[in-house]
Amino acid sequence: MFDYILPAVALGFLLDLIFGDPVWLYHPVRIIGKLITLFEKLLRRLFPDTRAGQRTAGVFLVLFVTGISTAVPALVLHWLYQVQVWAGFAVETFWCYQLLAVKALRVESMRVYSAVKEGDLPKARYAVSMIVGRDTDCLDAQGVTKAAVETVAENSSDGVVAPLLFLMIGGAAGGFFYKSINTMDSMVGYKNDKYRYFGTFAAKLDDVVNFFPARIAGGLMILAGYLWGFDGKNAARIYRRDKKNHESPNSAHTEAVMAGALDIQLAGDAWYFGELHRKPTLGDPIRPVEPEDIPRSNRLMVGTAFLALVAGAVLRAIVVLCVS
């Protein structure tokens, strides 16, 4: 089955690029989300509501969710490849297709672009609220645009490059492993009263698994900036200067590159659940953010995705050589 990983990922990538998320089918990430919710309820009942109890419960949550999310597709694919190679290849290709989000990211952000261009601010706020975690009711047109560009930049790493790399290393099972951790972080990795201790392990593990992909994504996006006609020189400069301007060790890498490549300033203060969070900015305000920055960010994201596919293929070849 390992011989078919590279073509399965490449074909899945092309299917995602052409067709986008198959909304007619229940997405596997939603199944992972249901699994997280189920185990959270169970573990909170089993462990005491103390700092140590919640942290221990959070460790078991990660072990159960990642174990099931990785083992089930791995076993299914192993069985299918044993029964009929092409059946295994077809299912693996389809799962690779589902686990990537290049077109979905472009489509969702372009909905924001269309609403902003129409001058429909409420519609634009709603559209951007579907892809960001911050409060959007107070955003003006420029704020909505900036939020869309930022989410394209951030998801270029954890929605495109990181899944591609894990798919290349471990096939669909590797992709499910990564997505289970990423989904847990998005659901329980908050520093609020409910998840401050329960979500600690999930959040830290997400930082670990994204450490190298974030830096690879930053480097690939700089290269894409040069190749696709953006300000590659400024992208490299801002990356070196601002890549650590974030509480997370990984989140600022692609956002810094995006800000530099587009000659704009991103990030800064934002409202979350009615509370203002003070954040440093990324990039320099060489020019103001404008609606056209959304399609520009998407071109840079897609260019980065193509380079990541090539980089992933090289990484796959190195892994195969080391194993053999």
| pLDDT at residue 219 in the model | 96
Alpha carbons 202 and 186: distance in angstroms, whole number: 9
- Number of domains into which the chain is organized: 1
pLDDT of 223 reads 97
Which residues make Cβ contacts (< 8 Å) with residue 49, sequence separation at least 6?
none
pLDDT of residue 130: 87
CB atoms within 10 A of CB 96: 27
Distance CA 87, CA 318 (A): 27
pLDDT at residue 276 in the model: 67
Judge whether 243 and 218 are in contact, CB under 8 Å: yes
What is residue 2's predicted lDDT score, i.e. its pLDDT?
62
Q: What is the pLDDT of residue 273?
A: 66
Q: Which tokens sit at 41?
A: 């309820």
Closest by CA to 320, choosing from 4, 73, 100, is: 4
Tell me which residue range forms the domain holding 53.
Answer: 2-323
Residues of the chain predicted below pLDDT 70: 1-2, 269, 271, 273-277, 324
Strand, coil or helix: what is 267? strand
Separate counts of helices (H) and strands (E) for the chain: 13, 4
Is the distance from CB of 316 to CB of 5 less than 8 angstroms? yes
The Cα–Cα gap between 182 and 163 comes to: 10
Enumerate the β-bridge partners of residue 277. Answer: 270
pLDDT of residue 274: 66
Please report, as a single letter, which amino acid is at residue 211: F
